[in-house]
Amino acid sequence: MMKRGITAFILALLLILPTTAGAAAQAKYQFSWDDGRTGSISGTALVKNGVTFVPMTGLINQSRLELSWDSTGKRAQFNGWRKSFAVRIGNLTGMVDGKMIKLDGAPFLYNKELYLPARFVVNALNGKNITWDAGSKTFKADHLQTFKKYEFVIEGLKYAIEGKSGDIYVTDSKGTQRLLTKLGAPIWEYLNIGFQKTQGGLLVVNLADNYGEPHLNNQQFTLIIKEGKVIQQSSVHYWNRLELNATKFNERLILIDGKTLRLIEDGTGKVVETIDLVKLGGEDDNYFVEYFDNDVFLLRANKSGILKLVDRDTGRISVLYKELLDAKHQEYVETNDMPYVGDFLKIIKRDGDTLVFKNEFPYDKDNNTYRFAISE
């Protein structure tokens, strides 16, 4: 009688414990995404009662989802841009975009990892072409989607960016959402957001997306907003080298798309001047503009990395490293490729008709300042 009681107790205990991997067999999974950047992911899957289960950590990262648990630690909620689904440990029903879905296997935790039925995951992520390769024991699917969103609040308005398209939406205090603008490029990874209000009442929003491996790509967006509408915007991509662009000149704003520079009148947002940077710089590249004034400005091509001074009146171009540096440092500028090609001259200040620079040469720094007379 005692043995029967113990057996009954163990069986009852097993029924109330969360589902685990149990006697699951190992298999593989291989998923690919449709955005051209996310690529593919593969790993070890578990097969239990004929159902393939996949671990969710890597899939969450690839699909740009956010995972949250309820207070019981049993219900997992996944959220992304206009995408949501939820499951409960040990339960055969789930929710996808507000609709109840029957699962072909109950979710479980194994080695602190959440496992979900592979077919459910693929369908929830809008994937296609599910196949099972019996020879390699691999569950495959493709065209999975990403659902990354970026949100920020400025002056009581909530802004949301759909990562895949780069579309920006704004929601007012009444909860009404509308499309604000299209960036024209997706947001791939790490987005930094900054904003400022101008004296003329314009809102300038700066977005910087750093992505790739090892994060050498830098996509920058600038929006100028007046009375809730984008009246001017720009976008520029830089690779490897990243310098600070000038953003204001007197009472005017500066917009740089890499190829051109636009001077924007504060208050109205009108373009008062457009400068062809490619024509002046002589290289078909994206340019930084590191200083801007009435009579001169500094520009640097992204790839060659050479800082040049442009005389706005005469159009004369001065290659500054040749004017300022000694033979040793000139040779380095012309031959180096680490950490990137080009010179390391940085403007410190303007002193009358003289621009003062420092040389941030990374391997043999000096404390000298270098002066360039504009009037020469």
Contacts of 240 (CB under 8 A, 6+ apart): 216, 302, 339, 340
Q: Spell out, as residue ranges, where the chain has pLDDT lower than 70.
A: 1-23, 36-37, 376
Q: Classify domain 2-144 at the CATH superfamily level.
A: Copper amine oxidase-like, N-terminal domain (3.30.457.10)
Distance in angstroms (rounded) separating the CA atoms of residues 53 and 326: 65
pLDDT at 44: 97
CB atoms within 10 A of CB 81: 21
Per DSSP, 244 falls in state P
- DSSP per residue over 293-324, as a string? -SSEEEEEETTT--EEEEETTT--EEEHHHHH
Distance in angstroms (rounded) separating the CA atoms of residues 154 and 169: 13
Half-sphere exposure for 165 (CA within 13 Å, toward CB): 11
pLDDT at 297: 98
Distance in angstroms (rounded) separating the CA atoms of residues 171 and 154: 11
pLDDT at 11: 35
pLDDT digits (tens, 9 = 90+) for 313-365: 999 999 999 999 999 999 999 999 888 899 999 999 999 999 999 999 888 77
Mapped onto helix, strand or coil, the DSSP state of residue 16 is: helix
CA distances from residue 52 to 76, 107, 159, 195, 365 in whole angstroms, order as listed: 19, 11, 39, 47, 59
Distance in angstroms (rounded) separating the CA atoms of residues 17 and 99: 27
pLDDT at 22: 60
pLDDT at 243: 97
Domain coordinates in residue numbering, the chain: 2-144, 188-316
pLDDT at 366: 77
**Residue 369 in tokens:** 């300042």
pLDDT digits (tens, 9 = 90+) for 13-62: 333 334 455 668 999 999 999 876 678 999 999 999 999 999 999 999 99
Distance in angstroms (rounded) separating the CA atoms of residues 93 and 116: 11
Burial of 125 (0-12, 13-18, 19+ CB in 10 A): buried
Do 128 and 142 touch, CB atoms closer than 8 A?
yes
State how far Cα 310 lies from the chain centre.
Answer: 33
Per DSSP, 332 falls in state H
- DSSP per residue over 175-225, as a string? --EEEEEE-SS---SEEEEEEEE-TTS-EEEEEEEEESSS--EEEEEEEEE
Distance in angstroms (rounded) separating the CA atoms of residues 22 and 370: 72
pLDDT at 10: 37
Distance in angstroms (rounded) separating the CA atoms of residues 325 and 319: 11
Contacts of 284 (CB under 8 A, 6+ apart): 278
pLDDT at 375: 76
* Burial profile 48-79: b = 16 or more Cβ within 10 angstroms, e = fewer: beebbbbbbeebeebbbbeeeeeeeeebbebe
Distance in angstroms (rounded) separating the CA atoms of residues 307 and 20: 62
Distance in angstroms (rounded) separating the CA atoms of residues 36 and 18: 38
